[in-house]
Amino acid sequence: MRTIALAGAFTLLFGCGGGTAITPAAPFPAFDRAVNLGPPVNSQDFDGGPSISADGISLYFVTDRDVSNGGDIWVASRRATAEPFSKAESLGAPVNSSADEGAPTISADGLELFFDRAPDGLIFGATRSNISEPFRAPVAVDLRSTGCCDEFPNISADGLDLYFCSNRPGGYGGDDVWVATRTTGLSRFDPPANLGPTVNSPANDCDPSISKDDRVLLIASDRKGGKGGLDIWVATRSSRSQPFGKPVNLGANVNSGFSDRRPDISADGLTLYFMSDRVGGTGSFDLWQAKRA
């Protein structure tokens, strides 16, 4: 297995169990070269912001195809994870509106959908009683916003941690990664906390994606050491109670000289979805995937 050397005191594989012991440093598993998801996911227009369901059957994303009001949230489906996505359709109202919806993230149980909306500069949440029902009207999530903008939400597998990026005061650069925590799925989120200068940098750090076991954090950043534009980086920790280590670039199989961003990792940790405007796509931005090597 090809690997990426990981700086810091520890590392781990996706999908491992919990635990609090810090283990010796080990290489981080690499991904094979990224491939374009093709139609019907991608179109000649903007397609981005992927979020894969826990069962790997539904891929939520944002697109500006067939609309006149900016981005809408769509979902592509397939019968099994070994098959390509064969159908894509808009979520419609009330999730989509005359505003610009973006960056969806679906909860592990499929009952909550978070996304950002422009020009509001806020994160919204929509719920439903079961996965066969449409989502109810979205409401703004109270993240103690101090102005524009909070965006690119990502909800943890247990539904208790909402990661997002923001340029609110208290950061270390342009956009920073923050996290808001709640005690139950029905509780209000506590005031967000900045992930600190180990994860965040003087550059732009955004588009967080947390793994199922809460120990791997993927971000997009234009910090020094990248391939060009925004690159996808990975930070790890030994347990949920520990801070994340310094992010490491995922390398040339994933990143390009263009903007590579909005990563989302499958529940089994074997497939990375992201958006890119690199050569080889069909529109301004397309959705791509990379398999674990």
Least confident of 142-151, 177-186, 264-273: 142-151
Report which of residues 192 and 19 the model is more confident about.
Answer: 192
In order of start, what are the domains of the chain with their CATH numbers?
Answer: 3-291 (2.120.10.30)
Residues 59-105 pLDDT 10s: 999 999 987 667 999 999 999 999 999 989 999 999 999 999 999 99
From the list 84, 83, 155, the residue with the least C-alpha distance to 125 is 155
Q: Which pLDDT belongs to residue 119?
A: 86
Q: Which pLDDT belongs to residue 191?
A: 96
Q: Which pLDDT belongs to residue 83?
A: 95
Q: What percent of the chain has pLDDT over 90?
A: 79
Average pLDDT over residues 37-55: 96
In Å, the largest CA–CA distance within the chain is 53
Tell me the average pLDDT of the chain.
89
